[in-house]
Amino acid sequence: MAESYNICLDVGGTKVLGAIFNEKDKIIYRLKKRSKDNGSGSADVEKVIISVVEEMIKESGIDRSKLNAIASCAPGVIDQDRGIVLFTPNLPWRDYDMAASMRKQFGVPFYVGNDVNLGALGEYHFGAGRGYQNIVAFFVGTGMGGGLILNGELYTGHQFKAAEYGHMILDPEGPLCNCGQRGCLEAFSSKQGMSSYIRQQIGRGRQSLMADSMQFGTFRSKKLVSALQAGDQVAMEAVDRACHWLAVATGNMINTFSPDLILYGGGVIEALGDLFLGKILAEVDRYCMPQIRSTVELKNAALGDDSILYGDLAMIKGLK
């Protein structure tokens, strides 16, 4: 097999994670950089991306002429065919022709897709989703992302806008979500949703080890783990609430799609996956038809931080 390399990027609201894959689809070098400018707002994220790619090429010592392609995710609505980021909530991009800009910069093919779609695709081809044909993936992080594999292919819907089931409305009178609706799954079960609940309880005078981390918006997952280990009641209530609504949403998706597999990934699951999965399994049967539930497996993602990177690789390889 001829020596060649692919560079894959996970571009988020606060960081750019990069990895170099060799011809055997193994990661041989990785690098992470912050994409915020001293916490004061978004820096020029494109410059951060370019610096990550350039530094990886230099430090890994690979021959630049052996670079086959580069692929990246972005959060938000992506025109994957044209490589244009139409909208992303956490980055200053609107109708940004990312593919054209990066092709000009590096002189190789460049691909871009939605972050959670690619996470689902990565798990399907390289992780916990191998061998399944219909997968509903929930990615639990700062927000709540969704990815769908239907009949063995990533389903992106009309204009690549499908699988935003983090915004299925579970309680029309529930908490306000960043999307403008009330009672979305994201408003209950994401880090933002759990942070809002904890902040509300602290505001009512309750004590919590999470109080300090609430000053900066959403908590870090490690902080939540520590609070749970210390028996923090408010933190446990937030987790119980998040898992309850994830179980309700999971039941809805089981009834809707009759998938082979429900998959849970993202930063919260990486930190607390066994706890979340156990609580979801304890409840989910109440919210779906037994005849459909009986043929569905529920599992955590296997690739951790690398789910999206492997999804990038699948996109480069033209895997559906």
The 10s digit of each residue's pLDDT in 107-130 is: 999 999 999 999 999 999 999 999
pLDDT value for 43? 47
Q: If you average pLDDT over residues 5-11, what whole number do you get?
A: 96
Residue 270 has pLDDT above 80, yes or no: yes
Q: Would you list the domain boundaries of the chain?
A: 5-119+306-316, 131-302
CATH of 5-119+306-316, one of 3.30.420.40, 3.20.20.70, 3.40.50.2300, 3.10.105.10: 3.30.420.40
pLDDT value for 42? 44
Of 9-18, 180-189, 242-251, 275-284, minimum mean pLDDT range: 9-18
Residue 199 has pLDDT above 80, yes or no: yes
Q: If you average pLDDT over residues 208-229, what whole number do you get?
A: 88
State how far the Cα of 15 lies from the Cα of 32, in Å rounded to an integer: 7
State how far the Cα of 143 lies from the Cα of 193, in Å rounded to an integer: 8
Q: If you average pLDDT over residues 41-67, what whole number do you get?
A: 89
pLDDT value for 36? 61
Record the pTM: 0.91
The angle subtended at Cα 225 by Cα 224 and Cα 230, nearest 5°, is: 95
The pLDDT confidence band at residue 2, using thresholds 50, 70 and 90, is confident
- Report yes or no: 133 and 151 within 8 Å, Cβ to Cβ: yes
State how far the Cα of 279 lies from the Cα of 314, in Å rounded to an integer: 32
pLDDT value for 213? 83
Residue 196 phi/psi, 5-degree rounding, is -60, -40
pLDDT value for 130? 97
Residue 17 has pLDDT above 70, yes or no: yes
pLDDT value for 39? 45
Instruction: Quote the mean pLDDT of the chain.
Output: 92
The pLDDT confidence band at residue 1, using thresholds 50, 70 and 90, is low
State how far the Cα of 94 lies from the Cα of 57, in Å rounded to an integer: 29
Other CB atoms within 10 A of residue 119 CB: 31
Structure-model confidence comparison of residues 113 and 43, the more confident one: 113
Residue 203 has pLDDT above 50, yes or no: yes
State how far the Cα of 254 lies from the Cα of 105, in Å rounded to an integer: 44
The pLDDT confidence band at residue 76, using thresholds 50, 70 and 90, is confident
pLDDT value for 40? 40
Q: Give tens-digit pLDDT for 24-41.
A: 999 999 999 987 654 444
pLDDT value for 247? 98
pLDDT value for 265? 95
Q: If you average pLDDT over residues 166-185, what whole number do you get?
A: 94
DSSP-derived pairing of the beta strands 135-140 and 261-265? parallel
**Highest mean predicted confidence (pLDDT) among 5-19, 22-36, 55-69:** 55-69
Strand-pair partners of 34: 15
The pLDDT confidence band at residue 261, using thresholds 50, 70 and 90, is very high
**What SS3 string covers 87-101?**
ECCCCCCEEECHHHH
Residue 319 has pLDDT above 70, yes or no: yes
Burial class for 307, CB neighbours closer than 10 Å (0-12, 13-18, 19+) = buried
CATH class name, domain 131-302: alpha beta
Residue 134 phi/psi, 5-degree rounding, is -135, 110
Residues contacting residue 6 through CB under 8 Å, at least 6 positions apart = 20, 21, 67, 68, 69, 70, 71, 312, 313, 316
Same fold, 5-119+306-316 and 131-302: yes
Structure-model confidence comparison of residues 91 and 18, the more confident one: 18
Residue 83 has pLDDT above 70, yes or no: yes
Crossing angle (nearest 10°) for helices 233-257 and 191-203: 140
